Structure 1
Amino acid sequence: MTTEDVLFLSIAELGARFRAGSLSPVDVTRATLQRIEQLDTVLNAFITVTGDLAMEQAEAAERELRSGVDRGPLHGVPVALKDLADTAGVRTTCGARILSDHVPTVDATVVTRLREAGAVLVGKTNMLEFAYGIVHPDFGQTNNPWDPTRTAGGSSGGSAAAVAAGLCFAALGTDTGGSIRIPASYCGVSGLKPTYGLVPLDGIFALSWSLDHGGPIARSSEDAALLLEVLAQRTLDVTPRGLKGVRLGVLEEHIDGPEMEPGVREVFMRALEALKDAGAHLVPVRIDELDAADAALMDVLLPEASVIHERWVRERPDDYAKDTRMQIELGFDVRGVAHVKAQRYRQRLAANFLDAMHGLVALLSPTVAWVAPHEDPVVADEAGAAEARRTAPTNLTGFPALSVNAGFSQQLPVGLHITARPNDDAVALALGAAIERLLGANRVPPLLDMPSVLERTSG
């Protein structure tokens, strides 16, 4: 088994080999760090690599597993964190100059849970500045493993690129309008925005209190479920469900539109045909008032973000990227009446989604209307609205939503978006796992291989 074979094992298979003694957490972590060193000069997926900490944690995991102490599926598994989750003793920058030297003294709740689960932290991943849709020039864009001339997406692009490229087995992301699912789509991995509030956000820097979600990015829905179980401290049954007779809604408003690339639509329609051939029953669905979601998102997001940044944008305006500062300033101009109306609209939209989902397991749509672009669009302009058009409604409603890889257009991944009812996160993940098996679209990006350093311990 080559190093690349090992670094692209499922988390379950990796854990089984750890427990059988055919692989070592120390050797796998060392190989992961070597791969980061080899590839991250191109990808720029990490802001901080925690090599010494990772090796200490891997050594501790190996000792515990050998002595019969088993902390669960993530024990000894290399993972990464989006760099807005506080890590005691490790800097947390939020991809921003303002926090470039910030070193927290207390872990975020999810970090504590990962430590207790025995996960190995290999680093803090790159992100758009304060998760607000713009790259700060001090940190630069995260590049896509499928084509490094293109973006990995935002704002959790570093986490998605790291997972896709084999620089970790899973990673934490956050999502306010699509920031887990858009990078997952662009990088060909699985990303879940859980039900609102399922994953605690204590110690995670906020963008918009009422829209923010934390969640997993992994190479499969089953791996994402294992990470979510730790983040949410909840047991999930995500055994891939049979597709025969399953009733799935197809969100008609999101299949077309002026921004929809023909290749993305073609991949999505092929996926629907495969689902029908597998026995799924597909039902066309339309949702009342869905066309108001773009404006409502901004009427919630802009003022909430501006309140968070009010002091810094007054005292340190030049430390922000130009477009980040512009968006913060825009938020001060949103009228209170518009914000309240948007919050009331969210309640109606959630009810409309539930009405449309009556008798259905989930809703399907493309995740994004296009494949990975060369640069991330600005959140507050039309391109930014179009990018998040298919993901943002579930931030407004708080429903769980998952992006899985459906295939390729222009040799780049295309995401399929699965929306489930509140607290049906396991349903979304089980359906995602079944679709991944059906489509067989999960692949390894054609990156440089690296010399095998695991042959002595892998079978």
Structure 2
Amino acid sequence: MSTVLPESPEPTAPGSTATPATTEAPRTGPTALESAAHAVDAAGLPADFAYLELGEVAELLRSGRTTSRALTEAMLARIDRLDPQLRSYTTVMRESALAAADRADQEIARGGYRGALHGVPIAVKDLFFTVDAPTGAGMTVYKDFRPEFDATVVARLRAAGAVILGKLTMTEGALSQHHPDLLTPVNPWDADTWTGVSSSGSGVAAAAGLAFATLGTDTGGSIRTPSAQNAVTGLKPTWGLVSRYGAFDLAPSLDHIGPMCRSARDAAIVLSVIAGPDVNDPTVEPRPVPAYEELVLDRVPTVGVAPALMGYFDEATRAVVANTAAVARGLGWNVVDVELPDFVSANADWPLLVGVEVAHAHRDTYPARKDEYASVLTGRIEDGLRATAVEYQAAMERRRAFTGRMHALFAGIDILLLPGVGEASPTWAEIDAATADPADSRLRSLPVAPIDNANLPSLTLPAGWTDGGTPLGVQFVGGPWSEQLLLAAGHAFQQVTDFHRKHPSLG
């Protein structure tokens, strides 16, 4: 599979503002909102409203050019029209969304504007507790579960004035396979192409313009692979930055919560709302929340590329990473080769680490309700139950050593550049075939699962296309608590490329 990429640019001097020749369309023209401003409907919405970035939507609402009610009704109509085919929503919360939109309009009209999410329709993965809708976690076991409280991240989104449109489809228990009795979302770029692992509905909804932002979770790549597969921007924060209270566990020491959006700027806006200490989650670090949305690089970043690891990947995957490195050089960034800790061994340890934790997480329903579980989740739980304490302790020691070496790596670089998926835009047929070949599955997770083992932050960015027109993504991985740098670097990359501004043709 080849990759449609522009030619590499000539390097520019550090600090240069020259636009690299790799980009398809430098951001010198009007924004989406400006270009569509002449074609608004009676509700003040441009024809391409569904693909506006959060800042653009916020300005429409803040200025009174449209209302949250009009925006929410338009988005619900779009969901009604497109989602029967795309299947990104498991529950549409129509009544509560419209009620929240009306409240937002009243508050904004009274001068009580809360910020960039006020009145904006968004959606969340169906493992976050919501008092006004079931929370099923992709499982038939929990299909009728009605939480008595909101997850902390949901409560914070509501407090910011966001309108929650509904709950998004996901794999069973947030592992790797959709339950056969429940919905499997469809990639809006190509129905035969994989949607990525558990935050699959979040990636599809964001890509298809069925929400202005979504929330996902990532234990072994579940924000990053759906972001790469669907051409959206997804952030997996440092473990301990975002509260996990009120979210179903897969493997708590590996679970991360983060935004999946149009752009790095959008991800920064959402992260600013959901991050920070929580009395209900003592694992969250008591750190102040930076102004992520300022998006200013305070230094010329050094980007590490790992030639030895890249040798594991196909030509198209290597090409998209090389092209991104060329864009980085064109921005004046330093690009250097690095030697990584043992990613192959860290990736091989991930199933055992997850298996033990997922067995514990499901102790109340497994094996008591084993017949309601599908094969992949069952297999992972059984692997965890069979693991000995000695085996698990050995894997934990290797995990700690790998984490220490990864932290040391970031003493010499600011960003590690990796593929978003270990295989260029795999199809569903390839994914199904890999079920019988664990080595194939491990290759696909090679650039993502080890980053979870080390609990490091990673920003996934749309960065190219296969010759079939399906998306390719890359990761900007950083040291602990480097989200501000990663988001600023991602924003700089997106200012000189337009990959994140391409959208699927959905009619």
Cα deviation 1:237-260 (Å, max 9, x = unaligned): 344456994311112343221xx2
Unaligned runs of 5+ in 2: 1-38, 41-45, 277-288
The correspondence for 1:65, drawn from 86, 90, 108, is 108
Equivalences for 1:226-265 in 2 at 5 Å? Answer: 226-233=269-276, 234-241=289-296, 245-257=300-312, 260-265=313-318
Instruction: Give the aligned partner of residue 299 of structure 1.
Output: 352
Residue 66 (structure 2) aligns with:
23
Match of 1:435 in 2: 493
Of 399, 406, 414, the residue aligned with 2:472 is 414
Check conservation: 1:247, 1:282, Cα contact below 8 A.
Answer: yes
Question: Within 2, Cα distance between the matches of 1:322 and 1:192?
Answer: 29
Equivalent residue of 2:80, what SS? helix
Matched letter for residue 440 of structure 1: D
How many Å apart are 1:337 and its aligned residue?
A: 1.4
Matches within 5 A, 1:111-260: 111-233=154-276, 234-241=289-296, 245-257=300-312, 260=313
Note the alpha carbon deviations across 1:358-397, whole angstroms, 9 max, x for none.
2322111111122142265559932332222111112111
Partner Cα separation in structure 1 for residue 160 and residue 94 of structure 2? 19
- Whether contact under 8 Å (2:356, 2:384) holds in the other structure is yes
Correspondence 1:393-408 to 2 at 5 A: 393-408=450-465
Query: Within the alignment, does 1:359 sit opposite 2:416 as a pair?
Result: no
Equivalent residue letter for 1:247: T
- Structure 1, residues 140-164: CA drift from partner, whole Å, max 9, x if none? 3211111122231110010111011
What residue number does 2:386 align with?
333
Among 368, 374, 383, the alignment partner of 2:428 is 374
- Greater Cα shift, 364-373 or 24-33: 364-373
Give 1:371's aligned amino acid: S
Q: Which residue of 2 aligns with 1:282?
A: 335
Residue 91 of structure 1 deviates from its aligned partner by 0.3
CA contact (8 A) 1:191 1:224 kept: yes
2:78 is the alignment partner of 1:35:
yes
Check conservation: 1:362, 1:428, Cα contact below 8 A. Answer: yes
Please state how far the C-alpha of 1:4 moved relative to its aligned partner.
4.6
Deviations 1:333-355 (CA, angstroms, capped at 9, x unpaired): 12211211222222211221122
Q: How many residues align?
A: 447
**What stretches of structure 1 of length at least 5 have no aligned partner?**
450-459
The answer on whether the counterparts of 1:42 and 1:148 sit within 8 Å (CA) in structure 2 is no
- Alignment-derived partner of residue 456 in structure 1: none
Contact 1:237-1:426 within 8 A present in 2 as well: yes
Which of 457, 480, 484 is the aligned partner of 1:426?
Answer: 484
Distance 1:379 1:203, change over 3 A: farther
Report if aligned partners of 1:254, 1:366 keep a CA contact under 8 Å in 2: no
- For 1:447, the equivalent position in structure 2 comes to 505
Does 2:139 correspond to 1:84? no
CA contact (8 A) 2:208 2:504 kept: no
Q: In structure 2, how many angstroms separate the alpha carbons of the residues matched to 1:227 and 1:241?
A: 17
Give how far 1:89 is off.
2.9
Paired letter, 2:484: A
Contact 2:351 2:380 in 1 (8 A): no
TM-score, scaled relative to structure 2? 0.85
Q: CA 1:427 to 1:336, structure 2 compared with 1: closer, same or farther past 3 Å?
A: same
**In the aligned structure 1, how far is the partner of 2:84 from the partner of 2:414?**
43
CA 1:313 to 1:39, structure 2 compared with 1: closer, same or farther past 3 Å? same
Most deviating of 150-159 and 246-255: 246-255
How far the C-alpha of 1:286 sits from its partner, in A, is: 1.2
- 1:401-440 CA-to-partner distances (Å, cap 9, x unmatched) read 1110111113111111111111111111111111122222
Deviation (angstroms), 1:210: 0.8
1:457 alignment partner in structure 2: none
Considering only aligned residues, what root-mean-square deviation do their CA atoms show, in Å?
A: 1.8
SS of aligned partner of 2:421: coil
Matched, 1:387 2:444: yes
The CA deviation string for residues 208-267 of structure 1, in whole angstroms up to 9 with x for no partner, is 01111111111101101111111114243344456994311112343221xx23222222
What letter corresponds to residue 488 of structure 2 in structure 1?
A: A
Q: Percent identity?
A: 34
